């Protein structure tokens, strides 16, 4: 996973840039990708959440993608750059008002890599809404399993949301 400096997805931040200083009005640009010599694979974003810590299970939590479905209303996918092996998207900056450090944000994503020709892959199934899970299997935890799928979790961050007052003072200085 990479965090990009702008919506053109050409330049990434490096480790020395973190924690990034971001304004509440900024959009944050991410890329998920898999590097492989295999050509018969595809990448699927299963879940992406943001928390104020390195722990993806921490609270509070903002859900960006869940079960392959776009949840965050500010999420925008870049379909012109995205391929079978890469997904590019942007979200609006936000804070966690009830956390110890409400302005610190990490993004955590779980990705699945599948064989394109595997009819039982999680990638093939796509978005599974809660309603669809109940309709298909009667079990809210229904998931299609394939022994060929590979699941990996990644974390990016942190970035710090500057308050409007801090941003004005930084601009004046």
User: Domain map of the chain by residue range?
Assistant: 2-172
User: For residue 133, what pLDDT is reported?
Assistant: 47
Pairing assessment for the beta strands 150-161 and 20-22 based on DSSP bridges:
parallel
Q: Are 3 and 12 in contact (CB under 8 A)?
A: yes
Average predicted confidence (pLDDT) for the chain: 84
Q: Write down the pTM of the prediction.
A: 0.82
Q: Which CATH number is 2-172 given?
A: 2.60.40.4100
Q: Are 44 and 122 in contact (CB under 8 A)?
A: yes
State which residues of the chain have pLDDT below 50.
Answer: 133-136, 138-142, 165-173
pLDDT tens for 132-147 read 544 445 444 445 556 6
**Other Cβ atoms closer than 10 A to 23:** 14
């Amino acid at each position: 996973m990479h965090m990009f400096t702008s919506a053109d997805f050409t330049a990434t931040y490096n480790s020395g840039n973190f924690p990034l200083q971001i304004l509440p009005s900024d959009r944050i640009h991410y890329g998920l990708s898999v590097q492989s010599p295999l050509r018969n694979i595809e990448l699927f974003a299963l879940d992406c959440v943001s928390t104020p810590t390195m722990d993806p299970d921490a609270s509070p939590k903002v859900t960006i993608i869940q079960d392959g479905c776009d949840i965050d209303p500010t999420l925008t996918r870049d379909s012109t750059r995205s391929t079978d092996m890469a997904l590019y998207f942007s979200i609006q900056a936000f804070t966690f008002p009830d956390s110890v450090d409400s302005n610190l944000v990490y993004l955590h994503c779980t990705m699945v890599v599948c064989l394109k020709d595997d009819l039982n892959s999680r990638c093939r199934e796509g978005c599974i809404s809660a309603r669809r899970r109940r309709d298909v299997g009667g079990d809210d935890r229904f998931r299609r399993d394939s022994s060929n799928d590979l699941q990996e979790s990644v974390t990016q961050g942190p970035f710090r949301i500057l308050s409007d007052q801090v941003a004005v003072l930084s601009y004046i200085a």
